[in-house]
């Protein structure tokens, strides 16, 4: 397993200082709304990050990436504020889209679509999920109804998408559709008149600019060379993106819950009740102790899964395990922070209430806990059958 370099630790330390000292004061900025921070605020923060030398810190100037284990310490530092990942350009969905484009796209497509993302001048959206009420793809991407057909040297795409994070205001999109060969991916410049935003959903999470949109795609015509990779290989490319992307979520939210825990501890030490500080009451002290344990467990789970991904394997099983363990564990941390802080915990006087809401959504985003457990159960069954067959035992 690779070690975490001095370079990565230095980057993480600089990102942490920037997020705590420069970004955190913007958490009460009026440009933060129910549908996420405004693009104006995002660009202001990215300009500050650029000046501080911490913009897109996990990608070196030559285009090479830190390892996943190194990325973990950097993204955890970015997550110390809900605005931190946006400020330093490691937020979803951009971070995952940059990873995918870097792995699959041609040099020409990288120059056109990847460079603006890495430089922080553009935002992106990933168009995969479809409306549940229409029977479209969600946790089961094989249900995809959005179609693409070849018409001369162009592809024509039609369909509906839902929960498309950041579609409002995005400059670049990755659109998934189904051809006769199977799933396909396309890169598209946004906005495009053929992609209509029907509405922005009101959700309990508020950290992502543009919110989550329901979208209609009507006769979107794209040149054939804007297909990402090959026709029919879209699900394979999705796996290239999804395992690291769901782990990146874990990294960022570990930072957020670390900060929420710090705020809860400071409150419990200062707040007096029944003749002594809250932290001296066993019920409160035990909750904070449980938080400390859970935070360390999440850190170790992320580091283990990142190490597996650094070997070059897809890590679907490992990332599912990490996503379940970390999202559930950190949600409990956030919940205890709210409980420790009482009435203050459910206000917007601190970020604790927001972190709680974001973690509740994270238990669903990038695959609900139950879907990952189901996938893991299937893997356990396959492994058991394989062992039985190798031993000559019928089942």
pLDDT one-digit tens code per residue, 1-44: 558 999 999 999 999 999 999 999 999 999 999 999 999 999 99
**Per-residue pLDDT tens over the stretch 94-107:** 999 999 999 999 99
pLDDT given at position 139:
87
φ, ψ dihedrals at 85, nearest 5°: -60, -35
Range of the domain at 341: 235-389
Last residue of a domain, one of 196, 230, 264: 230
**Both structure tokens of 197:** 């935003």
Name the pTM for this structure.
0.95
pLDDT given at position 305:
98
**Per-residue pLDDT tens over the stretch 350-378:** 999 999 999 999 999 999 999 999 999 99
**Per-residue pLDDT tens over the stretch 281-312:** 999 999 999 999 999 999 999 999 999 999 99
Average pLDDT over residues 128-137: 95
Domain count, the chain: 3
Residue 42 lies in a domain: yes
What angle do the packed helices 68-78 and 6-18 form, to 10 degrees? 10
List b or e across 272-307, with b for residues whose CB sees 16 or more CB atoms inside 10 angstroms: eeeeeebbeeeebeebbeebeebbeebbebbbebbb
Q: Does residue 199 sit in helix, strand or coil?
A: strand
Average pLDDT over residues 109-137: 96
Do 296 and 225 share a structural domain?
no
Q: Give the whole-angstrom CA distance, residue 363 versus residue 372.
A: 11
CB 252 within 8 A of CB 89: no
**Residue 223, strand partner residues:** 154
pLDDT given at position 90:
98
pLDDT given at position 244:
93
Residue 111 lies in a domain: no
End-to-end CA distance of the chain: 37
Do 60 and 150 share a structural domain?
no
Does position 153 have pLDDT exceeding 90, yes or no?
yes
Average pLDDT over residues 165-172: 98
Do 250 and 224 share a structural domain?
no
HEC states along 13-62?
Answer: HHHHHHHHHHHHHHHHCCCEECCEECHHHHHHHHHHHHHHCCCCCCECCC
Do 159 and 42 share a structural domain?
no
Residue 110 lies in a domain: no
DSSP 66: -
Residue 102 lies in a domain: no
Q: Give the whole-angstrom CA distance, residue 282 versus residue 292.
A: 15
Residue 98 lies in a domain: no
CB 369 within 8 A of CB 354: no
Do 339 and 224 share a structural domain?
no
Does position 245 have pLDDT exceeding 60, yes or no?
yes
Percent of the residues in the chain that have a pLDDT greater than 70, as a whole number: 99
List b or e across 139-164, with b for residues whose CB sees 16 or more CB atoms inside 10 angstroms: eebeebbbbbeeeeeebbbbbbbbbb
Cα torsion 190, 195, 200, 203: sign: negative
Does position 395 have pLDDT exceeding 60, yes or no?
no
Q: Does residue 171 sit in helix, strand or coil?
A: coil
Do 348 and 276 share a structural domain?
yes
pLDDT given at position 2:
59
Q: Give the whole-angstrom CA distance, residue 353 versus residue 344.
A: 9
Residue 323 lies in a domain: yes
Do 77 and 211 share a structural domain?
no
């Amino acid at each position: 397993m690779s070690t975490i370099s001095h370079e990565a630790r230095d980057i993480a330390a600089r990102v942490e200082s920037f997020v705590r000292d420069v970004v955190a004061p913007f958490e009460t900025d009026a440009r933060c709304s129910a549908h996420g921070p405004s693009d104006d605020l995002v660009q202001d923060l990215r300009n500050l990050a650029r000046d501080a030398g911490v913009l897109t810190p996990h990608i070196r100037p030559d285009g090479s990436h830190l390892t996943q284990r190194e990325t973990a310490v950097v993204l955890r530092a970015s997550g110390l504020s809900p605005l931190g990942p946006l400020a330093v350009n490691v937020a979803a969905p951009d971070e995952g889209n940059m990873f995918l484009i870097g792995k699959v796209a041609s040099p020409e497509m990288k120059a056109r679509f990847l460079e603006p993302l890495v430089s922080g001048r553009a935002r992106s959206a990933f168009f995969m999920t479809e409306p549940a009420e229409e029977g479209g793809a969600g946790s089961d991407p094989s249900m995809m109804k959005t179609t693409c057909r070849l018409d001369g040297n162009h592809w024509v795409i039609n369909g509906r998408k839902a929960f498309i994070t950041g579609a409002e205001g995005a400059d670049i999109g990755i659109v998934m559709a189904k051809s006769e060969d199977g799933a396909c991916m396309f890169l598209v410049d946004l906005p495009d008149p053929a992609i209509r935003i029907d509405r922005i959903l009101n959700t309990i999470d508020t950290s992502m600019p543009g919110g989550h949109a329901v979208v209609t795609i009507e006769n979107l015509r794209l040149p054939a060379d804007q297909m990402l990779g090959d026709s029919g290989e879209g699900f394979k490319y999705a796996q290239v993106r999804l395992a690291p992307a769901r782990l990146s979520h874990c990294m960022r939210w570990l930072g957020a819950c670390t900060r929420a825990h710090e705020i809860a501890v400071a409150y419990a030490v200062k707040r007096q009740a029944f003749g002594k500080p809250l932290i001296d009451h066993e019920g409160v002290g035990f909750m904070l102790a449980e938080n400390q344990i859970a935070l360390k467990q999440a850190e170790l789970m992320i580091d283990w899964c990142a190490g597996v991904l650094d070997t070059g394997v897809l890590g679907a099983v490992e990332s599912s395990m990490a996503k379940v363990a970390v999202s559930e564990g950190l949600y409990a941390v956030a919940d205890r922070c709210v409980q420790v802080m009482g009435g203050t915990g459910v206000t917007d006087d601190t970020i604790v209430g927001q972190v709680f809401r974001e973690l509740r959504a994270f238990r669903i985003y990038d695959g609900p806990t139950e879907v990952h457990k189901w996938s893991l159960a299937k893997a356990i069954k396959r492994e058991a059958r394989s062992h039985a067959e190798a031993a000559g035992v019928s089942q």
